[in-house]
Amino acid sequence: MKEEDDDDDGLLVEEEDSDFEDDSKTKKRKAVTSKHFDNKKTEKKKPDTKGKKPTKEKKEDNDLEDIEDLVTTPHKFSLHNFKNDEEIVSIRRDLIGWYEKSKRDLPWRVDPPKSSSSIDSEILNIKAYRVWVSEIMLQQTRVSTVIEYFNKWIKRWPTVQSLSSATLEEVNECWAGLGYYRRAKFLYEGSKYIVNECNGIIPSSIEKLILVPGIGKYTAGAISSIAFDIPTPLVDGNVIRVISRLRVIGASPKNSKADKLIWNLAGLLVLTAGEAYNVSSFNQGLMELGATVCTPTNPECKVCPINKHCTAYQQPIGNSQPSASVEKGEQCNVCEGWTEEEMATNSVTKYPRKAIKKEPRKETVFVCILKQSGEPSKDNDKDESDKYFLVQRSNEGLLASLWEAPSILVDSNEKTYEKGMDDFLKGVLDLNVWKVEKRTRIGDTFHIFSHIHQTLIVECMTIAPIKGAVVEEKKENGDR
């Protein structure tokens, strides 16, 4: 169950997945070099640059920070491995036992199927659909917020077939207020794909699930394992946190090597041979543990059902403790090292190492509330309702396909704002048949996305048709 971490800033934000970027390559932390680390042994010999043009040293794609600024205490890579198959079996047994007793009562919870052959295929399809909807809604959104939206969604579209028959406008309307609207569009497009390409049956295999628009590796793993009980790893923020602490992985999940290691360990947890177990309950238990016990701050380690297997709990200083001797081929190349502040922390909250967040870009948007005043009614002399003009955003990018008041991105030169808006409106309305009755600056407001902070400068423009002119609205979408 993928949900927003509790240590986020709590702001009401919106975000588009396509805009996620990792800028940690360009930022540095003040780091501590362990006294156990022999700098002389690893110091690179400076090349002879005399008479040569300086060249930039090529970095590996997964380098997140300058290695000279962050140095980890040498330790064996084997520190991050499970001890043996028996340990994995024990983790599964303890976690499933805890989950069955402690799991929250949530509307999308799916009872684990005994075997797909003994369950009606239609019911199994509905279960897979409910898992899919819940997992998409829970991305970057808290459980408490999702419950109401999930119930409303399922009441309106209880099956993938019913969702595919809706319109995108209806889907966005139902989603309104949940944010991250691209998720709703993916659900809608995915439902059409499943109806048209899969005869309305949600696939059970990872290979087929990832072909569905909007379904990636994590969501595919969730559907396959939770709905169909197929041994498939899944990794969300909660699972990353649990595994990072279990195996003291001192790296940000944004590090490609750390990401690969965590997925490999998640795979071992579900694929290692041993006594029969319920994959659905185990994977849900892993996420439940991260959401309720192994939390970002103030984790309840003493009541954790697998704390005896947790290296970060049993050995709080984790990989800051040097190995007695580390051969060159045995040394871990995943962990990134610690800053002074991190080095002083002996809590399990040290793991996973936090990624450096990119500073949100700042934008100024000029917004026009475009209004046609209501006219007196011939019957009762009451004014008809005012009409407001909206434009539809582009089908791609931020808030794709949503409707909004006419708006344009502007720079700091306020003198150009009104002319820029006039030019934009020429593509929406035929200004030759409209006259401007009133134009007033209302004020400023703010809209916060996780990656963009917008200042909205708002005006209200009242227009009326020129007497005798034929009014025709243009149908083109806005170009932002």
Which residues have C-beta within 8 Å of that of residue 118, sequence separation ≥ 6? none
What is the set of active-site residues?
135
CA distance 478 to 480: 6
CA distance 377 to 393: 34
Range from 13-27, 46-60, 218-232, 399-413 carrying the lowest mean pLDDT: 13-27
31 pLDDT more than 60: no
Confidence tier at 111 by pLDDT (50, 70, 90): low
User: Could you tell me the pLDDT band of residue 478, with boundaries at 50, 70 and 90?
Assistant: very low
Sign of CA dihedral 71, 73, 75, 81: negative
Q: What is the pLDDT at residue 290?
A: 96
Residue 407 neighbours by CB under 8 Å, 6+ apart: 365, 366, 367, 368, 456, 480
Looking at residue 316, what is its pLDDT? Answer: 53
In percent, how much of the chain has pLDDT > 70?
Answer: 72
More confident residue, 164 or 14: 164
User: What is the average pLDDT across 53-82?
Assistant: 54
- The confidence score (pLDDT) of residue 55 equals 44
Q: Tokens for 46?
A: 């400076």
Average pLDDT over the chain reads 78
Separation of alpha carbons 203 and 198, rounded Å: 8
Q: What digits encode the pLDDT tens for the residues 338-393?
A: 777 766 666 888 888 887 778 888 999 999 998 887 665 555 555 567 888 888 88
Rounded to 5 degrees, φ, ψ at 467 are -55, 125
Q: What are phi and psi of 452, to 5 degrees?
A: -140, 135
Q: What is the pLDDT of residue 334?
A: 86
User: What pLDDT sits at residue 326?
Assistant: 64
Better-predicted residue by pLDDT, 127 or 448? 127
The pLDDT of residue 14: 35
pLDDT classification of 424: cutoffs 50, 70, 90:
confident
> Does position 77 have pLDDT exceeding 80, yes or no?
yes
Task: Give the C-alpha separation, 20 to 394, whole Å.
Answer: 19
What are the beta bridge partners of residue 391? Answer: 404
CA–CA dist 268, 260 (Å, integer)? 12
Q: pLDDT band at residue 1, thresholds of 50, 70 and 90?
A: low
Candidate from 26-40, 189-203, 405-419 with smallest mean pLDDT: 26-40
pLDDT of residue 177: 87
Q: What is the pLDDT of residues 114-169, one digit of tens each?
A: 555 556 788 889 999 999 999 999 988 889 999 999 999 999 999 999 999 999 98
Nearest to 132 by CA among 203, 198, 43, 78: 203
pLDDT at 266 over 90: yes
Predicted local confidence at residue 381, as pLDDT: 54
Q: Where is pLDDT greater, at 165 or 52?
A: 165
**How large is the average pLDDT for residues 451-467?**
84
